Chain A
Amino acid sequence: MVKRKNPLKSLLFFLLILLIVFFCLFPFGQMLSLSLKYSWDWGNPSWIPTKINLDAYKELLNIGSSLKDVPESVLLLLEESPELTAVQKKAILATYQDTGDVFPFLKYFRNSLLLSFLASFISTCLAVLGAYAFSRLQFLGRSVVQRGVLFVYMFGGILLLIPLYRIFASLLLLSSPGGTLASLLIIYVVQTLPVSLYMLGNYFRTIPYSIEEAAMIEGLSRFGTIMKIIIPLSLSAIFTVFIYCFMIAWNEYMFASVFLKSYKALYTLPIGLKTLFMSKNAIWDRIMAASMLTAVPVMILFMSIQKNLTSGLASGGVKE
C-alpha cells in the first residue's frame, strides 16, 4: 500500500510494531523469568535471573526427590541410628519431602487432561453429525434449531451455574466423586457444543456438494458420505474444533470451583492453581512455574492449529 518510503515514518512504524510485540509478550516474559528466580532476586527488574533456579519445576514435576528440605539434624540423626530399618528411614524422610501436599501438579494435570479430552471428544463427535444436518439436509425446524444454537451464546455461565448445581445436586450426582466428574463432563460438553456446531457447520458449507452427489450416485448412503467423504475432507477443521473445545474446557474455572469444592483429589489445574495462590505455600517461583506448565500445552496446541483456528474464528464461531 505504501510505495514511497519516508524514513521517519518507517522508523515510527517499526517502533509501533515493537511496542505491540512487547505489550503482548511481557507478561509471559515476566512469568518465565520469575519462575526461574530465587526469592532474593524478585525485586531485580531485569528479566534475566542472577542465578537460575529450577527447584520449582523439579518440585512440580517430581523430578529428583532432593533432600534439601530435610533439616541437617534429622539427616545426622538418621545416619547415627543404626537401629532404624531402611523402611523406617524412608518414611521419616518422606514426611519432609512430600511435595504432593504442597501442590500435586501432576495429579491436577491428569484430571484436567482427562476432563478436557473427553468433553471435547464427545462434543466434536456430536457436532460433526449435527453440523452436517445443518449444512446439508432440509428438515422441518432446521432454521429454528440453528437460531436456537446461536441464541445460546448470550447465556453467560453465571446464569446456568445455580440451576445446574441444584439439578445435579438433586439427582444426587454430586455426592460421589464419579458422579461429580460426570456432571462436570456433561457441563463441558454443553458449554462447547454450540460453538462446535457453528464452526463445523460453516466449514461443511465450503465443501462442494457435487463431490457428495457423485458419491451418492455411485450408491453411497447419506451416512456413508459423512463417514467416507465429509469427515476425511474436513479432518483439519474437525481437529481445530476439537482443540478449541479442549482449550475452553482446560481453562474453565467457575463450574469446576463449585462442583469440585469438596473433592480435592479431583481438582483441575485452574482451581488447583487458585487454591495454591491463596494458600500459605504460595511462593512466586512455584506459582509462575505452575502457570508456565499450565500454559505451555495449550500454546503448543494452538500453534499446531493456528492457521485453521484463525480462519475458523474469523468465520464467526467463537465462545468466551
Chain B
Amino acid sequence: MHHNSANILKRGSLGTRAQQEQRLGWSLVFPSVVIILVLILYPVLYNTFLSLFAFDVSGNRTFVGLGNYAEVLRDREFRLALGTTLLYVVCTTLGTTVLGVVVALALHRKFPLRSLVRSIVLLPYVAPVISVVFAWQFVFDPVNGIFMEIFHSQLGWFSQRMNIVGDPSTAVWAAIVFSIWKNFPFTYLMVLSRLQAIDQTLYEAAEVDGASPWQQFKAITMPEIYFVVNALILLRVIWNFNKFDEVYLLSSNVKVLSVYTYLKAFTGTMDFGQGSTLAVLQFVLLIGFILFYVKKVLKW
C-alpha cells in the first residue's frame, strides 16, 4: 500500500494539485469500495437472480420465473413469520425506546456513583449474545428459573410452571424481553449524549419564569430529543426487522422472517430458491417502510 501510493504521488507531481488529490483519494478508498461492491452489492443482486430459480436436492437449478414468489406468498407459514416479525419489531422498538429514554433522563441527573452506574448500564449491550442468551434461558427455565419462581411460586400469576422459551406461542415474548434488555443501552447512550448537549440556560430561564419540571420537560427536553429519538426508532426497526442471532440463539421456536429464511435455506431440503425469495421480500418490505417513515415521520 505504502509503495503504491508513494508512486502515485510521484507521478501526480506532474499534474496539478487537484489531480493529485483525485488520484490519491481514489487509490485510498479503492480497496474498500471494491470489497463493498464485490461482497455486498453483487451478492444482493445475485440473491435476486437466485430467487428466480428452483433448486433440487443436489443443488441444480431450473428457471421458474416468479414461481417462488407465488409459492411464498401463498405459504401460510410465511404469513405467520411476517406476523411474528411485526409483533417482535413493534414491541421491541417500543420497549427499547421507552426504557432507553427513561434511563437516559434518570442518569442525566447528578447522584453519587453516577459514572459507575453509567458503565453498568452499557454491559447488556456489549456482552456477547451467545453468553447472555443462556443466562436468559435459565431465567425462564420452568423448573429452576427465577421468572417462574417469582411469578408462579411467589405471586401466583401463573397457575403452573410454564416453559416459556420452549413453547412456540410464548417464546416470542421471551425474545422480546431479551431484545429490550440487550438493546435499550444503545438508545440510552444516544439520548443521553443529546441531553448533555442541551443548553442549560434554557432550563434556567424556564425556572425564572416559574415553569414546573413537567412543563420544562415538555417545552424544552422533548423538542430537543425529538429528532434523535425518531432516528433511533428508525434504526431500531431496521435492525430488529433483520435480527437473527438474538432471536435464533434464544429460541429457534420464534420464527421471525430471518429465522424462517435461515431454516428454509440451510436445514432440511436446503431450498435456496425460496430462501432467496424470502430474503428479497424481506428487503423490499423494509425499504418500503423506510421510505414511508422518512417521508411521513421524519419529513425529510
Contacts and interface: CB of A to CB of B under 8 A. Distances in A.
A24 B286 contact: no
B111 A13 contact: yes
B86 interface: no
A292 interface: yes
Give the residue among A20, A134, A254, A306 with the most B Cβ atoms within 10 A.
A20
Nearest to B45: A163
Contacts of B149: 45
A19 to B, nearest CB: 10
A141 B26 CA distance: 9
Nearest to B194: A314
Interface string B21-44: 110111011011101100111111
B79 to A, nearest CB: 18
A162 B279 contact: yes
Contacts of A161: 262, 265, 279
Interface string B59-98: 0000000000000000000000000000000000000000
Contact of B28 (A13, A133, A152): A133
Interface stretch (A56-64, A124-132, A207-215): A124-132
Contacts of B136: 27
A17 B242 CA distance: 32
A1 B221 CA distance: 13
A43 B132 contact: no
Nearest to B133: A291
Nearest to B290: A154
Interface string A76-94: 0000000000000000000
Contact of A187 (B1, B39, B111): B39
Contact of B262 (A16, A145, A158, A273): A158
B122 interface: yes
Given A27-B132, A287-B134, A295-B131, A130 B262 contact: no
A303 interface: yes
Interface stretch (A97-105, A188-196, A231-239): A188-196
Interface residue range, chain B: 35 or more
Interface in B253-270: 257-258, 261-262, 265-266
Given A133-B28, A156-B258, A294-B130, A163 B190 contact: no
Given A156-B242, A162-B50, A145 B249 contact: no
Interface string B105-146: 011011100000101111110111111101110110001101
A233 B149 CA distance: 54
B238 A154 contact: yes
A306 to B, nearest CB: 6
B28 A155 contact: no
Interface of A: 1-2, 13-14, 16-17, 20-21, 23-28, 30-31, 34, 42-43, 45, 125-127, 129-130, 132-134, 137-142, 145, 148-149, 152-164, 166-167, 186-187, 189-190, 193-194, 197, 221-223, 227, 247, 250-254, 258, 269-270, 273-274, 277, 284, 287-288, 291-292, 294-295, 298-299, 302-303, 306, 310-311, 313-314, 318, 320
30 contacts: A17-B111, A20-B103, A20-B106, A21-B117, A23-B181, A26-B146, A28-B123, A31-B138, A34-B138, A42-B144, A129-B1, A133-B26, A134-B29, A138-B18, A158-B242, A159-B47, A160-B43, A162-B261, A186-B39, A193-B36, A221-B6, A221-B9, A223-B9, A227-B2, A274-B130, A291-B135, A295-B127, A295-B128, A303-B119, A310-B193
Given A13-B109, A254-B248, A274-B249, 4 more contacts: A1-B109, A21-B121, A24-B124, A221-B6
